[in-house]
């Protein structure tokens, strides 16, 4: 038998075994979320984030409006 064919067959076998091992390691352990669940998760996460505002200088401020108002009063 030709050594090139043996080498080719060996690489194909190694590639298949490697793919199976990679699939076993990376497959999801639980069922994947439906589109409705993903949308609900994203909406919930976006509601928990702090609001972004801009102060008069045009700089974005992360926090509550009360902090922004006290900062403006101190600058005046």
pLDDT in tens, 7-47: 999 999 999 999 999 999 888 777 777 888 888 888 877 66
Helix boundaries (H) for 1-76: 3-26, 35-48, 65-75
Contact 68, 57 (CB under 8 A): no
Which two three-digit tokens encode residue 55?
Answer: 């102060």
Q: What is the pLDDT of residue 35?
A: 83
How far apart are the C-alpha atoms of 29 and 47, rounded to whole Å?
A: 28
Helix (H) or strand (E) segment spanning residue 54: strand 52-54
Which range of 4-8, 33-37, 56-60 scores highest in mean pLDDT? It is 4-8
Bigger pLDDT: 17 vs 53: 17
What backbone phi and psi angles, to 5 degrees, belong to 62? -105, 120
Bigger pLDDT: 29 vs 3: 3
């Amino acid at each position: 038998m030709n050594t090139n064919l043996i080498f080719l067959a060996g690489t194909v076998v190694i590639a298949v075994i490697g793919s199976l091992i990679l699939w076993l390691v990376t497959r999801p352990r639980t069922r994947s979320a439906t589109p409705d669940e993903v949308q609900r998760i994203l909406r919930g996460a976006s509601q928990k984030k702090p609001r972004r505002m801009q102060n008069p200088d045009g700089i974005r401020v992360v926090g509550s409006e009360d902090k922004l108002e006290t900062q403006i009063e101190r600058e005046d």
